[in-house]
Amino acid sequence: MISPGDTVLISGDSWGCGEWNNQKVPHSLRMLKKRCNIHRGLEQFLESYGCIVYNVSEGGASNKDSTRRLAKKIEKTNPDFIFWIQTDPIRDLKPYTEEGFPKTIEEITVLQENLLKKTYEFLGSLNKKIYCMGGVFKLNETLMRDHSNLYPLIPSIIEFFGAKEVKHWVSGWIQHSSIRFSDEFIAELYKLPDPYAVLPKEWFYPDGVHPNRLAHKAIFEFILNSDPVKA
């Protein structure tokens, strides 16, 4: 059970940084704290509870980025509890280039699963209990079962707050100038749901695509009630 004085490590993308406003803000957590500091979300609630929190989340990060930062911080701090927020696996392809990039929805689906498998294998190799949450992309619980140290705490934050999971997010890679998508592929992508339209305002505003402070409070309370075991 988490208690005041415990050390907690959080890693993820912008969903791990807290609440965002609807204006353009710096992506890094350091700059968010320094200049924006809207609300630090789960980190802030855990600190108020009395925990010592290390948050290495960073806006726009890939799963590869966030898990590497997590691993480095584990070595330095040996935290009592570790929470990781998953994002779109396609971000692992950064910097985006046309070569090898999927050209159909079916290819994207296969690639996402293969990338997640590599992510879970890396996290599994850390031999630390890691509580995972699906953010921009739902956890693949079937793949996670191969690693006993990975616990799917919240398989989908989106579904946790009553919304329908968006299987494919049309995110930054679609606008990348180095990738020439066919008209057919673009048309297929734009048939996908718009996250701004499906995410409930109560939990995802003011910016519409990040959990707000109320959502982070609910996640914090869920963690306390879940009685997680130390790493």
- Per-residue pLDDT of 6-45, as tens digits, reads 999 999 999 999 998 865 554 455 444 444 458 999 999 9
Residue 159's pLDDT is 95
Any domain includes 2: no
- Token pair listed for 95: 């910097």
| Tokens representing residue 173 in the block | 């890679």
Task: Determine, yes or no, domain membership for 67.
Answer: yes
Does residue 55 lie within any of the structural domains? yes
Q: What is the DSSP letter of 98?
A: S
Number of folded domains in the chain? Answer: 1
Answer whether residue 167 shows pLDDT above 70: yes
More reliable by pLDDT, 10 or 106: 10
Show the CA angle centred on residue 104, arms to residues 161 and 170, nearest 5°.
35
- The parent domain of residue 215 ranges over 7-226
| 57: nearest Cα among 21, 119, 14, 115 | 14
Q: What torsion do the CA atoms of 215, 221, 224, 230 make, to the nearest 10 degrees?
A: 10
| CATH label of the domain that carries residue 56 | 3.40.50.1110
Burial of residue 49 (CB within 10 Å: 0-12, 13-18, 19+) is middle
In this structure, is residue 1 part of a structural domain?
no
- What are the tokens at 118? 């590599």
Does any domain span residue 127?
A: yes
**For 106-110, 192-196, 202-206, which range has the lowest pLDDT when averaged over its residues?**
192-196
- pTM higher than 0.85 for the full model? yes
In-domain check, residue 149? yes
Does residue 45 form part of some domain? Answer: yes
108-158 per-position pLDDT tens digit: 889 999 999 999 999 999 999 999 999 999 999 999 999 999 999 999 999
- Residue 157 within any structural domain of the chain: yes
For 101-147, give the DSSP string: ---SHHHHHHHHHHHHHHHHHHHHTT-S-EEEEESSS---HHHHTT-
**Residue corresponding to tokens 């749901």:** 193
Query: Which pair of tokens denotes residue 144?
Result: 């996670």
- What the block records as the tokens of 73 is 């911080």
